[in-house]
Amino acid sequence: MIIICTRDTALVETCRQLAGNREKTGRLAEVGQLPQLDASAKDLLIIDLKTIQEADLPAIACPAVALAEVPDFKQAMRLQGRGVRGYGNRHMLFENLKQAVTAVRAGQVWMPPAIINQMINSISPTEPESEQPLPLELLSKREREVADLVAQGLSNQEMADKLYISVRTVKAHLTSIFSKTGCRDRLELAVKMKNYHLVQV
């Protein structure tokens, strides 16, 4: 079920299109209803930050996407601390919103590329205690190069320019890297790559 927390009827209609005919949608208009929300991990919450103030949000237990008028890195970091894994512009294209919903439901982080890259650059490597080592030996030479560049916070376009390949090829390498390493998204890959390099020093 998709649960929409907004007073914006146009956004409600967009979210109902996301759900399609086979999935139910619900609607909340007030933040006070969120703590009593009976949502499971299979449900998805879409929060309109034009309707609900960020400061009023409780901790979010189910997969959630927050939509802002103007996405901001600091707000993205604060929301992630409250359990929100998806974040973007409330006017984003329907296809992008669909990608966000799909990614968050799969347990991934979905945010604008510029914010993801800022997050990666802000990560400090920490000595992993019981983390499984990355199976980097499974990666091809080119995939390893791409993984290293992800840890440096480069965008797909920047990696393509640096490696003299297309953005489409970069995306194909990333898909293969995620499959081989078990990383769900580029943020998780960047964290593990930074920790790997720390151990090697």
* Positions of E strands within 30-117: 44-48, 64-68, 86-89
Beta bridge partner(s), residue 48: 67
Average pLDDT in the chain: 84
Q: At which of 53, 77, 111 does a domain end?
A: 111
The reply to whether 51 and 128 lie within a common domain is no
**Confidence check: pLDDT of 133 > 90:** no
The reply to whether 50 and 129 lie within a common domain is no
The reply to whether 74 and 51 lie within a common domain is yes
Q: What is the pLDDT of residue 192?
A: 87
Q: For Cα atoms 1, 99, 93, give the angle at the middle one, nearest 5 degrees.
A: 105
Q: What is the pLDDT of residues 67-118, one digit of tens each?
A: 999 999 999 999 988 889 999 999 999 999 999 998 898 888 999 988 998 8
User: How far is it, in rounded angstroms, from Cα 112 to Cα 119?
Assistant: 11
The reply to whether 88 and 173 lie within a common domain is no
User: CB 65: neighbour CB atoms within 10 A?
Assistant: 24
Q: What is the pLDDT of residue 201?
A: 45
Residues of the chain with pLDDT > 70, as a percent, come to: 84
Q: How many domains does the chain have?
A: 2
The reply to whether 135 and 55 lie within a common domain is no
The reply to whether 66 and 21 lie within a common domain is yes
Parent domain of 68:
2-111
Question: Which pLDDT band, with edges at 50, 70 and 90, does 123 fall under?
Answer: confident
Q: What is the pLDDT of residues 139-160, one digit of tens each?
A: 999 999 999 999 988 889 999 9
Question: Which pLDDT band, with edges at 50, 70 and 90, does 56 fall under?
Answer: confident
pTM metric for this prediction: 0.75
Q: At which of 54, 79, 111 does a domain end?
A: 111
Q: What is the pLDDT of residue 199?
A: 54
Asked if residue 116 belongs to a domain, the reply is no
CATH number at residue 167: 1.10.10.10
Q: At which of 73, 89, 111 does a domain end?
A: 111
